[in-house]
Amino acid sequence: MLSDPATPRFGANYVPSSGWFYSWLDYDPAAVRRDFADLAGLGLDHVRVFPIWPWIQPNRAIIRERAIDDLLDLIDAAAEHGLTVAVDLIQGHLSSFDFLPSWVLTWHRSSLFESETVRDGLTAYVDAVARAVATKPNVFAITLGNEVNNLWPDSSTTPEASTRWAHDLLLTLRKAAPDVLALHSVFDDAWYKPDHPFLPADVVDLGDLSTVHSWVFNGVSRVDGPLGPATLTHADYLVELAAATSLDSSRPVWLQEIGVPGPDIPVDLQAEFTRRTVELVVHNPALWGVTWWSSHDIDRRLLDFPDREYDLGLFTVDHQRKPAAQALADVIAEVRANGVRAQPATTLMSPLNPRTEPGRRGELAPGSDFHRSWVEARTTGPVRIAFPT
């Protein structure tokens, strides 16, 4: 018997329209509220926001209360527009730039994941910010950081060390904010790179739900082009990998990032890619929600970003709604009007279990034999993944 209609969450990763994340250095409450009005107008229900770690903790002994106050005002601004908030803590990595405090660099250089001194500083930071934002009723989740595995290999680590690092900081987070979701976020090398020191099991064992980030510039768009079935179903494939790897069959999967990067998705196809990708993933019974990257474009007067980063927004820097935004709004309205139902699915057996054989993860990567078999089967309907025991 199929389940009753359900409605996943829809949101955006908040990139300020004015000044990108440098805007935290000169916080403008009115500009934030104008941005959130854009997002509420699409029918979104949440935003994921990114305070910058070194600007809150410039010295291991200093937590800047003014910076936290700005973050709290931003959370209030979201509430004024009917938006709930997920806060990421360790930035860390954003749009190709890494932001690290000076006390982990130069002659202080230490591994973020292996140094006990750095761990002490991070514990203080996570505790302070989590306690502050947890006082706001519209904060529903706190993630340790945005794709923290991007900070390797510049910060040495091992699978054992990276697991312990996330486990310990999640304990700090849960103690500081017991009533919100505590999450761990990595990008998809954890699923596809055999030697990567962040493991698939960490995605599905650590934190209160699993998060995946679907970016088709990882090679999947080269399998069959911008609107090919491999590209359009990559988000669903990652959700399936996470759902299958979890020991808890009811554990939700949050599609925490997905976007329309050029040149993989040409401008004239971005609306269609958005509509079809979301329509394909939204019926997955494991899906918790979809959070688009990103809310707003980056002003091209800012220098040195990879070209694809400038135009990922649902809105331009002058608040014009882009075609992908309209396509997303249309899908959201349809889903909220009609709900979604779990659909009959076939099952495909993987040649490996990434939980027990992470060294074979490459056999699951885009373009692998298994991935191609899954994509072919997916053209006729949903496909669950099973792993050998």
The tens digit of pLDDT for each residue in 229-258 reads 999 999 999 999 999 999 999 999 999 999
Cβ atoms of residues 354 and 364 within 8 Å: yes
Confidence of residue 1 (pLDDT cuts 50, 70, 90): very low
Instruction: Indicate whether 185 pLDDT > 60.
Output: yes
Spatial distance between the Cα atoms of 338 and 301, rounded to a whole number of angstroms = 43
Amino acid 341: pLDDT = 84
- The two three-digit tokens of residue 95, written as one number: 């749009």
Spatial distance between the Cα atoms of 56 and 148, rounded to a whole number of angstroms = 18
The alpha carbon of residue 358 and the mean position of all alpha carbons in its chain are separated, in whole angstroms, by 22
Candidates 31, 29, 28, 35; CA nearest to 13 is: 35
Spatial distance between the Cα atoms of 205 and 202, rounded to a whole number of angstroms = 5
Candidates 382, 354, 347; CA nearest to 368 is: 354
Half-sphere exposure of residue 240, counting CA atoms within 13 Å on the CB side? 26
Residue 387, CA distances (Å) to 67, 162, 279, 348, 356 in order: 46, 24, 26, 9, 10
Instruction: Indicate whether 199 pLDDT > 60.
Output: yes
Amino acid 367: pLDDT = 98
Amino acid 228: pLDDT = 98
Amino acid, single-letter form, for residue 219: G
Amino acid 374: pLDDT = 98
3-class secondary structure, 361: helix
Amino acid 196: pLDDT = 98
The CATH number of domain 9-339, selected from 3.90.550.10, 3.20.20.80, 3.40.50.2300, 3.40.50.410: 3.20.20.80
Instruction: Give the list of residues 6+ apart from residue 163 with CB closer than 8 angstroms, or none.
Output: 199, 201, 202, 206
Burial class of residue 70 (count of CB atoms within 10 Å of its CB; 0-12, 13-18, 19+): buried
Amino acid 4: pLDDT = 43
The domain spans of the chain are: 9-339
3-class secondary structure, 210: strand
Mean pLDDT, all residues of the chain: 96
3-class secondary structure, 310: helix
Half-sphere exposure of residue 99, counting CA atoms within 13 Å on the CB side? 22
Instruction: Indicate whether 342 pLDDT > 90.
Output: no
Spatial distance between the Cα atoms of 29 and 76, rounded to a whole number of angstroms = 10
Candidates 183, 172, 170, 192; CA nearest to 289 is: 183
Amino acid 6: pLDDT = 73
Amino acid 324: pLDDT = 98
Residue 358, CA distances (Å) to 159, 188, 200, 336 in order: 10, 13, 7, 38
Spatial distance between the Cα atoms of 104 and 126, rounded to a whole number of angstroms = 16
Amino acid 3: pLDDT = 38
pTM value is 0.97
Confidence of residue 146 (pLDDT cuts 50, 70, 90): very high
User: In the predicted model, what is the mean pLDDT of residues 216-225?
Assistant: 97
CA 52, 57, 61: angle at the middle one, nearest 5? 170
Amino acid, single-letter form, for residue 282: V
Spatial distance between the Cα atoms of 99 and 96, rounded to a whole number of angstroms = 10
Kindly report, residue by residue over 294-319, the tens digit of the pLDDT: 999 999 999 999 999 999 999 999 99
What is the rounded end-to-end Cα distance, in angstroms, of the chain?
Answer: 27
**Strand spans (E) along the chain:** 9-13, 46-49, 84-90, 93-94, 97-98, 139-145, 181-183, 210-214, 253-258, 287-293, 346-349, 383-386
Kindly report, residue by residue over 84-98, the tens digit of the pLDDT: 999 999 999 999 999
Find where tokens 């401008």 sit.
267
Cβ atoms of residues 331 and 312 within 8 Å: no
Spatial distance between the Cα atoms of 113 and 162, rounded to a whole number of angstroms = 6
Spatial distance between the Cα atoms of 171 and 166, rounded to a whole number of angstroms = 9
Find where tokens 């440098």 sit.
22
Residue 219, CA distances (Å) to 106, 261, 265 in order: 35, 12, 12
Specify the DSSP class assigned to residue 381.
Answer: S
Instruction: Indicate whether 149 pLDDT > 50.
Output: yes
Instruction: Indicate whether 2 pLDDT > 50.
Output: no
Confidence of residue 134 (pLDDT cuts 50, 70, 90): very high
